[in-house]
Every structure is written in C-alpha cells, then in structure tokens.
Amino acid sequence: MSRKKYFALFAFVFLLGASLRLLYFSNQWSIWWDEAVYMAMAEAYGGNNYFFEAFRPPLVPFTLFLWNSVFDYSLVSSRTFILLLSVLSLPLVYVLTKRVMDEEAALLSASLLALNAYSILYSARVLSETHTILFNVLAVASFHMGYKNNSKGWLSVAGVAMAMGMMSKHLMAYLPIAVFLFFLARRKLNAFRDRRLYIIITSSLIAMSPWLVNNYLDYGNPFWPQLANIGLSPPEGWSFYASVLPQFLGPQGLLIPFALVGLKKSKHAEFLKFNMLAIVVGLVILHSVAHKEDRFLTIFTYSLAVLEAAGLMNLANMVDQKRRKGIIKKIFHKSDYGKIVSIIVASLFALSFAFFSALPRQYEDLFYRCTNEINKLPKEKMSTTMSPYFSYFTKRFFEQLPWDEKDFSCPNLVKSGVNYTVYYSSGWYESREKAFLEQTKSCTTLVANITQNQKCLIFRVEK
C-alpha cells in the first residue's frame, strides 16, 4: 500500500476519533470532584490561592493555568484544552509507531486509540488521564527508538517524557521501573555500565528537578508524593482487576494473545516485549496503591493498542496464509485489501467496547444529580462543608466557610449569614458526617437528600 493510501486512511481515522471526542465533549457538562481540584490549583498558580492540594502532581494544573492565562477561565475553556491534547495523541501515535514499527502497525494503533472508549471518555475531563496517555506514547516510543539506534536525542526525549508523565500522574512511575528492568533483562550486570540508562535518568531528573526540590523543601523528601500513596489494600485487590480489567480491555483485548504468534521471529519482538513488561510492572504498581479507580488503567492505553495492533496483523496474516476459497480468498489475496479489512475489524472491536462499558459510573452520576439540584437553588448566601469541591461544582458561587471544617456549630453557621448549606460525603468521612448532622440539627432543615443515604444533603439554615 502506498504512503498516500496510508495517510488517507489515517486522516479518516483522525477525523473519526476527533469527531467522537467532540461529540462526547458537547454532551458532558457536569463538573466532578477531581476536575474541581485541578481548576482550583490552576487558579492558585495565577495567584488566587483559593485551594491547593499539594499531594497532586503539578503538571496538569500548571499547563491548565498557562492555557487559561491566554483564554477564558471557564469549564468549557479548560475542557477544550484537554480535548485538544487528546486529539493530539492520535497523530503522535501514528508518527512515532511508524518510526518504531511500520506504517501498518502505526495505522492500526492509531485506529484503536481513536476509538478507545476510555480515551474518549476522559478527553472531555479536566483530569490527568489525557496527559498520561500523551506522555506515555512519547516516552515508550522514544525510549525504544533511542535504545535501538543508540540515539542520545531520542533517549533524552524519553527521559523528559517520563518526567512529564510522573508530574501528571504518580502511577507513571511504573514506566522508569519497567525501563530499568528492561536494561537488566537485556544487559544484565552490564546495564549499570550502559550510558543509555544514565542518559534517560539524567534527562528525567533534570526535567523534574523543580518539583523534586519543592517536595524536599516542603516535606523533606523529594519523592514524597509518589511514595505516600503506596500501601496494599486487600479489599480492592484482585477483585478490582476481576471487575474492571475486562471492561477496560473490551473485546479487542482478545487480540493480545495473537501478538505472541511468531514473536521470536518478529522484527518488532523487542518493542512488543517491552510493552508487555511495562504492562506487567504497571499492574504490580497499581496493585500496591491504596486507592484505585478504573481510570488509573489508562496508563496502559498505548502499550495495549500496540499489542492489539500486532495481534490483529498476525491474525490477518494467518487468514491470508490459509488462502481459503470464495470471498475470504479474494479479500486477503492481495495484502492491501487484507490491511484495509484489518483496520475495519480493529475499528469494530474498539467501537464495540462502548456497549460493554458501564460508564458513567455510579458516583459520577451522583455528582451530576448533586450539581443539578444545587444549581436550582438561589445563587447567593450559600456555603458547603466540603469546599472547595462543591464551590467549583457550582461554578464557585459558594463561599468558603469562615470557620474550621470540624466546627459545624449553629452559632458559626448562623453567623456566616448563609441561607443554604450543602454536605457531600463520598463515604470516606462518616465521622465528620455524623458531627455535621449532630451540630447543625437545631438550626437547619433538610431540603433534599439526593441519594437517600446521606451522601449529598442540602439544608436551609434557620436564622
């Protein structure tokens, strides 16, 4: 197939992926918890220290602050920035995978990513997932190009990309661990004398140095944020993977075993093995963190797309070698047609994932309902016991409470002058919830209990 044909097919895939992201963006307007935090942190970089959660990596709010310094600071503007990054990941996958593997693998990988339900879902969210996918693509592909070709430039790009990934999401620390293990597997003890390893480490540390220095000054440990969330959590252990991983992989996950066919003889064997290693290391790291969500699996999106693309190519070749009679023979007799059919099949596999997804999740739906109910109330004289989160859910018309969050007594509540107050609990603050209900029962009247289980409560304050 000529390069023009490949490019034409990628252009179609790109437009389809961009259109699906834009369509999803236009239908999702409810802001949720973590988006509120990132938007608040972005404002803090601009000097309005409304709220800042230092535990979170800084890159998402900082890049959001740079974007909003030029464009309007709003939910639409912020999500547009994330949307553009998600769309940018598609040509990045195509260009880099073409250099690492070939044009067919690049086209299939881009197709799988363009129609990946999780990539589409988080393309409209002010969250770290889109940043993670973008830097993961750049880091994985650049590392292998640099390693294979002894290129200082690509190794440096890989190191910087890994640093940017870790400054977007702590879990991206799985990738430098996978890189180190890859060097050990390939070079054994000679890995410690391999200058390529030190080029990656040095470039990564230089790129992260402002964050590391700040962590050291604030917490006495440059790697405190990465280490603070480590801790085995058996209740979310294997049951988490059993329930979420099949949903995340979808039907196209069935293609991954076919990537192992002829792996030893494959000219891309080394790259495929590295992606497999990265996924295994990532699953181990994810298992060791105390808090898990299905979106955390997006760190594997690119590696999975590469393996699925390789599996699909092997499957097409297996059918081609059979040379069956009738329509199958006619389709696969010429490789060009076989590749086109492969792309169509890949698209159908990826698109079918939407039917297996249970999104939006239950607690995300809770945010929708809470936000919608709160927006029906007057926009003045309101407060919340969980500011700043609901302050941003409702576009910041709440005022922060003028007292310590642990003191919800009626004198403080009445003195604040608010007419309504909202309590939100995600189940992690049961003791605080009980304190709030006990201390305010003499001066508040329940207006709405959104979920009937004391998760989102709206009260009118009786003066």
Cα gap 384→448, rounded to integer Å: 14
* Predicted pLDDT at 402: 42
State the average pLDDT over residues 68-90: 89
Q: Indicate the domain borders of the chain.
A: 3-356, 362-461
Residue spans of beta strands (DSSP E) within 53-115: none
Provide the pLDDT confidence category of residue 394 given band limits of 50, 70 and 90: very low
Percent of the chain with pLDDT over 90: 29
Instruction: Give SS3 for 289.
Output: strand
Provide the pLDDT confidence category of residue 408 given band limits of 50, 70 and 90: low
Instruction: Indicate whether 457 pLDDT > 60.
Output: yes
* Widest CA span in the chain: 85
* Predicted pLDDT at 131: 95
Instruction: Indicate whether 281 pLDDT > 90.
Output: yes
- CB of 56 closer than 8 Å to CB of 37: yes
Percent of the chain with pLDDT over 70: 71
* Predicted pLDDT at 81: 94
Which one is predicted more confidently, 101 or 230?
101
Per residue in 239-255, pLDDT (tens digit) is: 777 777 887 887 788 88
State the average pLDDT over residues 258-274: 89
How far from each other are the two terminal CA atoms of the chain, in whole angstroms? Answer: 76
Which one is predicted more confidently, 32 or 194?
194
Cα gap 173→71, rounded to integer Å: 32
Per residue in 8-17, pLDDT (tens digit) is: 888 988 998 9
* Predicted pLDDT at 263: 85
DSSP letters for 417-441: T-SEEEEE--SS-HHHHHHHHHHHT
* Predicted pLDDT at 317: 75
pTM equals 0.80
239 C-beta neighbours (distance < 10 Å), count: 10
Distances (CA, A) of 399 to 50, 52, 272, 334, 359: 10, 16, 52, 67, 32
* Predicted pLDDT at 387: 38
* Predicted pLDDT at 396: 40
- CB of 90 closer than 8 Å to CB of 17: yes
Most confident of 113-127, 323-337, 396-410, 426-440: 113-127
Structure tokens that stand for 123 in this block: 């393309």
* Predicted pLDDT at 27: 55
Which one is predicted more confidently, 98 or 235?
98
The count of residues in the chain is: 463
State the average pLDDT over residues 51-74: 84
* Predicted pLDDT at 189: 79
Which one is predicted more confidently, 448 or 297?
297
* Residue 171 identity: L
Most confident of 172-176, 350-354, 365-369: 172-176
State the average pLDDT over residues 15-38: 76
Mean pLDDT of the chain: 78
* Predicted pLDDT at 355: 46
State the average pLDDT over residues 217-235: 64
* Predicted pLDDT at 349: 63
Cα gap 205→202, rounded to integer Å: 5
Instruction: Indicate whether 426 pLDDT > 60.
Output: no
Per residue in 322-358, pLDDT (tens digit) is: 555 544 455 445 555 556 666 666 666 665 554 445 4
Instruction: Indicate whether 91 pLDDT > 70.
Output: yes
* Residue 224 identity: W
